[in-house]
Chain A
Amino acid sequence: MLKARNQTGLIFFPAYDWAISPTHPEREERLLYTQDQIFEEGLFDIEGIRELKAEVVDIEDVQRVHFCVPDARSVMTESHFISAGGAKTIGRARMDGLVDRGFALVRPPGHHAMRVVHGGRGFCNVNNEAIMIEYLRKAYGIDRVAIIDTDCHHGDGTQDIYWHDPDTLFISLHQDGRTLFPGSGFSKELGGPTAAGTTLNIPLPPYTSEEGFLTVIKKAVLPILEDFKPDLIVNSAGQDNHYTDPLTNMNFSARGYADLTALLKPDIAVLEGGYSIENALPYVNVGIILAMAGMDYSFVTEPDYSPQRLYQGSSITETIEKTCEQVLDIWRDRENIRIRMQENVIYDQRKRNIFYDTDEIFETQNETLHVCRDCSGAYKIDSSADNGNRILAVHIPRKACRNCRDIGYKWFEETDMGSYGMIILQDRLEDQYQVRKK
């Protein structure tokens, strides 16, 4: 009798009536063959695997994470509300003990969506995982969360959201940013002065194969997770490292994804990218689901799978092992790195240019963090987009000290409206979102 070892919840929301544009990789057809394979395997009939219905996420859930300009309804389509809602449903099922683990197979994806959202970038508008995690923190009081991003593209949106949060460990494995969108995710990107070391980047050379990915998981990710002791492990489960993916240059396989999932044992996985819709996704998803459920996946292989052809050269192996060492060094040394970064700094500044490739918007950000010794620090982002929108976004973190709370409110209440269209306050202490307009 076929039975799941772990009670596993699945949300399948393929959004069969939603596309960015008719021929866009993020289109209606994307999960069609995955559905065919999942249904044909009879996965939803297996004892211990249950399919749940995605809910629609609330505006408050989005506002707990993002500053949407001009507002959430303008930057989100209906499908985003359900995709993020699917992640939320799985998170709730996990916390309510309905399931041991869950996988939200939803689209559109979200890991390129940053704290401030002017539009879509890298096919993402809002961050499904962050919306789920912040909801779970609010509703269930969980604290430490680890996000392991195994999409081929750097999870720059998730990185941005948790850049200043020492309670969220973000580790991204991805194809080297010198060779792929969004061009970031180098190991020196390790978080802000109050949270250095809880952002970790593991760039991988093109043509990294099963051996490389599993090495990173075993040598770097698992030991760090062991140290960090998260309440919840979330996997941003992009599937575009596959050897047939049309947008990337990696050599990962369905079996490899299943092995990775079996090693990582995420509580919750959320689908990100992956655009080899016929030759990879059907097999990768079946592999991941079986691995989540703790079941035998040894018969899951692509019809044209050949480990010999995907053999990873020794120079790639060396590069990866070196990167793992660097990342482990950062992790072990994170307290000292924080001390050095905080030395003689009261306000830390970060200036960035962000391009929204999907919506063709340029944004310039000036971020100011209060480098606090008692909490992770309030921060404000002065954000202007080339479509004329300019906002000041003030974030008071979940565990803000009295002083940082006051600083945040002072920024929010006393900043001159000047050329800002809006000044927005995200007060995570009180779980409030306030907007000042001209």
Chain B
Amino acid sequence: MIIGLDVGGTHTDVVLLDENGLQRRIKVATDASSLFDAVFSGLTHITRDIPADQISHAVLSTTLTTNAIVQQKLPTVGMIVTCGPGIDPEYFRTGEHYYLVAGAMDHSGREICTLDEQAVRDAADKMKAAGIEYVGVVGKFSIRNPAHELRIRKIIAPMFEKVFLGHNISGSFSFPRRIATAFLNASIYPVHKNFFEAVKQSLEQNGIDLPIYILKADGGTMDFDTSIDFPGQSILSGPAASVMGSIAFAPPDAETIVLDIGGTTTDMAVLINGVPVLAPHGIEINGYKTLIRALHTQSVGLGGDSVVRVSGGELTIGPDRSGPALAYGGPEPTPTDALFVLGKAGEGDREKAETGITAIAKQLGLSTQQAAQKIFDQTCRQILDYARQMVEKINSKPVYTVREALHGHSISPTHLLVLGGPSPQFAQHLESMSDYTVHMVPQWDVANAIGTALSRTTCEVTLFADTYKLEASAPEEMFVQSLKPGFKLADARQMAEDLLKKKAIREGARTEDLETDVLEEFEFNMVRDFRMIGKNIRIKIQVRPGLIHEYRQIAEKIPRDPAR
């Protein structure tokens, strides 16, 4: 059996699944000031009376690191940065303890300035004196040659609790994002580590000894040990949980938009033949642009509790929420109140809802019924507009080859999958207002926790091979290998795949789940002085985000109706 736990803004959803489907589901209130209680009580409740050896593991998606960043509750950490020509690296300063030291690599990984080791020692001394324990080390083009980052770590490692190196984070270019990502990893490391160690310890004290996996923003999982080295990957896992909870129900041969309609926001994502689309770079949070892999999701301020207003004679919905609907004791009219007026909602104070909507109706010169219908229509229409814009954004991504420019695939989704609290009311209306075929995700109110439980371990590897230098390297994997003459693209692909599988297993994957995709593959003739000297090969390969093998059939076994 597997436990899936997803911490949301108001509720924490916990499910227990086995090969026969959903065995238990609970919701506990989330108290943002004590996430630990939500997680711990969720886990103890769901496992009550179940022998520990029956449970294989738990996968957790929490808002812990996300909240820490958004609320800026982070410890002071240090950065040591090396940089060659380009933009002034002072622009990427992360805080007071940001030290630029001499040393640089060029775009091809050639050392163009030697490392100033004394400056590294001086920076380390200053950080140490300031009581800093966590340090990020980032070099421009370190993914092409990590020598300086490695040397810096060697010098400073004995002085600090934990050092994060830029080239280990991702094989993608972007020095500013590498700096931001290393900085965030260092900053959230203690809160992440302490939290999950406390969870593990408390569970053990209660006789529940479980391997713990953490959900990542790319819809995959990582084991606890991996998360200690890459805590940043746990940021913004929430939207991924919902997407993963819907993919079992997406048509395998069509393009689908996933809509997670909540109280405050609606989160959107796109599935191509059941596989989620990845964001082009990495997550963005609180002004930090990162290299943290993520699903392409979009969050818009439209939900069941969005505030409904009339301004300048025009009806507006959201983007803010000021509390629950009037019908549930809230302060302002909302789309949920409109549903009460339309007779589409169940228990609540219908009278209060009506009073609120009537006030809106008067300003619009409509009857209460008409106003309610207008509010509901407009909410749905705006959600559909945002969904269309997201698809346009994905389709307008620039391409770099003639083949893609002329024959590239342009997505045009035909299906909508709806989940989240108000799904039943919205799904039908969205279908009547659009050309999409609309379905609700079974167990729509805990589908996110189901997705969390069933996601497989994912990872990515970038491989650079240069058949002139006869060298292959995979920065994230600390892998450097010399090559034999005659090394070809197919050899590089094999090498990348081997590295990927090794990495995935190390981070908690099982062999039956290693479905891989080549995300990028280029082979360039390198010509110098009008003579071909070798090939420059680049491959980016991933374990595709998806559900674990033996649970793929579980979809049919999950009852549609949440009442259980």
Chain A interface residues (CB < 8 Å from chain B): 1-2, 11-19, 22-23, 27-29, 32-33, 35-37, 39-43, 45, 51-54, 56, 77-79, 81-82, 246, 278, 282-283, 286, 290, 295-296, 298-303
Instruction: Give the contacting residue for B536; candidates A12, A17, A32, A54; CB below 8 A.
Output: A32
Q: CA A39 – CA B540 in complex, angstroms?
A: 16
| B residues at A contact (CB < 8 Å) | 84-89, 91-92, 104, 106-108, 112-113, 140-141, 144, 172-177, 281, 289, 396-403, 405-406, 522, 524-527, 529-532, 536
Across the interface, do B405 and A45 meet the contact criterion of CB distance under 8 Å? no
Known: A23-B530, A52-B398. A29 touches B525 (CB 8 A): yes
Cβ contact within 8 Å between A51 and B529 = no
Task: Provide the residues of chain A in CB contact with B108, threshold 8 Å.
Answer: 33, 36, 278
A290 vs B289: C-alpha distance in the bound complex, in angstroms? 20
Knowing A32-B536, A40-B140, A299-B86 are in contact, say whether A14-B400 is a contact too (CB < 8 A): yes
Tell me if B536 and A29 are in contact (CB < 8 A): yes
B141 contacts A40, C-beta separation under 8 Å:
yes
A-B contact pairs, 12 of them (CB 8 A): A2-B176, A23-B525, A29-B536, A41-B176, A51-B398, A54-B405, A78-B406, A296-B87, A299-B85, A299-B88, A303-B104, A303-B112
Given contacts A39-B173, A42-B175, A278-B108, contact A301 B399 (CB under 8 A): no
Q: Is the CB of A300 within 8 A of B86?
A: yes
Least Cβ distance of B465 to chain A in Å? 14
| Distance, CA A253 to CA B404, complexed state (A) | 34
Nearest residue, chain B, Cβ from A77: B402
- From A16, A22, A53, B397 is in contact (CB under 8 Å) with A53
Q: Which of B92, B172, B289, B524 has a CB less than 8 Å from the CB of A29?
A: B524
Residues of chain A contacted by B401 (CB below 8 angstroms): 15-18
| Selected contact of B173 from candidates A36, A81, A298, A300, CB within 8 Å | A36
CA distance A13 to B403 in the complex (A): 12
Question: A283 touches which one: B85, B406, B532 (CB < 8 A)?
Answer: B85
* Inter-subunit contact B405/A303 (CB<8 Å): no
Pairwise interchain contact B87-A299, C-beta atoms closer than 8 A:
yes
Q: Which of B108, B112, B402 neighbours the largest number of chain A CB atoms within 10 Å of its CB?
A: B402
Distance in angstroms between the alpha carbons of A355 and B173 in the assembled complex: 43
Q: In the complex, what residues of A have CB within 8 A of residue B531's CB?
A: 23
Q: Which 4 A-B pairs have the closest CB atoms?
A: A39-B173, A303-B112, A42-B176, A36-B107
A332 to B531, CA, bound (A): 49
CA distance A37 to B87 in the complex (A): 11
On whether the beta carbons of A13 and B400 are closer than 8 Å, the reply is yes
Partner of A303, one of B85, B89, B397: B85
Residue numbers in A under 8 Å from B173 (CB-CB): 36, 39-40
Query: When the two chains form their complex, are residues A56 and B405 in contact, meaning their CB atoms are under 8 A apart?
Result: yes
Contact A303 B174 (CB under 8 A): no
* Complexed CA–CA distance, A193 and B329 (Å): 83
A-side contacts of B529, CB under 8 Å: 246
B86 touches A16 (CB 8 A): no
Residues A56 and B406 in contact, CB atoms below 8 Å apart: yes
Given contacts A16-B401, A42-B174, contact A303 B289 (CB under 8 A): no
Question: What is the bound-complex CA distance between A406 and B373, given in angstroms?
Answer: 64
With contact pairs A32-B536, A278-B108 given, residues A40 and B174 touching in the complex (Cβ less than 8 Å): yes
The chain A residue with its CB closest to the CB of B142 is A40
Q: How far is the CA of A60 from the CA of B175 in the complex (A)?
A: 42
Tell me whether A37 and B527 are in contact in the complex, defined as CB-CB below 8 angstroms, given that A15-B402, A78-B406, A82-B406 are known contacts.
Answer: no
Chain B residues closer than 8 Å to A52, beta-carbon distance: 396, 398
**A37 vs B106: C-alpha distance in the bound complex, in angstroms?**
9
Q: A12-B398, A278-B108 given as contacts; is B289 within 8 A of A45 (CB)?
A: yes
State whether A41 touches B396 (Cβ < 8 A): no
Q: Which B residues are CB-close (under 8 A) to A16?
A: 400-401, 522, 524
Given contacts A29-B536, A42-B87, A296-B87, 17 further A-B pairs with CB under 8 A are A11-B398, A12-B398, A16-B401, A17-B401, A22-B532, A27-B525, A32-B536, A35-B400, A36-B144, A39-B173, A45-B177, A52-B398, A53-B397, A282-B107, A286-B86, A299-B87, A302-B85
Q: Is the CB of A53 within 8 A of B112?
A: no
Q: Are A53 and B174 in contact (CB under 8 A)?
A: no
- Neighbouring B residues of A82 by C-beta, 8 Å: 402, 405-406
Chain B residues with CB under 8 Å of A13's CB are 398, 400, 405
Tell me the minimal C-beta distance from B115 to chain A in angstroms: 15
Q: How far, in Å, is A254 (CB) from chain B's closest CB?
A: 8
- In whole Å, how far is B529's beta carbon from the nearest beta carbon of chain A? 7
Assembly CA distance A157 to B85 (angstroms): 35
Q: Cα distance A422–B177 when bound, in Å?
A: 57
Distance in angstroms between the alpha carbons of A43 and B91 in the assembled complex: 13
Bound-state Cα–Cα, A274 to B532, Å = 19
In the assembled complex, the CB of A248 is this many whole angstroms from the nearest CB of chain B, namely: 15
In the complex, how many angstroms separate the beta carbon of B118 from the nearest chain A beta carbon? 22
With A23-B532, A278-B108 as given contacts, are A18 and B402 in contact (CB-CB < 8 Å)? Answer: yes
Contact B527 A27 (CB under 8 A): yes
Give CA–CA (A207, B250) in the complex, Å.
64
Contacts of B399 in A (CB 8 A): 53
Provide the residues of chain A in CB contact with B403, threshold 8 Å.
Answer: 17
Interface centre among A28, A37, A42, A302 (most CB of B within 10 A): A42
Question: Is A298's CB under 8 angstroms from B88's CB?
Answer: yes
- Verify A28–B400 contact, CB threshold 8 A: no
Write out the residue numbers on chain A whose beta carbons fall within 8 Å of the beta carbon of B144.
Answer: 36
Q: Give A292 to B91 CA distance when docked, in angstroms.
A: 18
Contact partner of A2 among B91, B396, B398, CB < 8 A?
B91
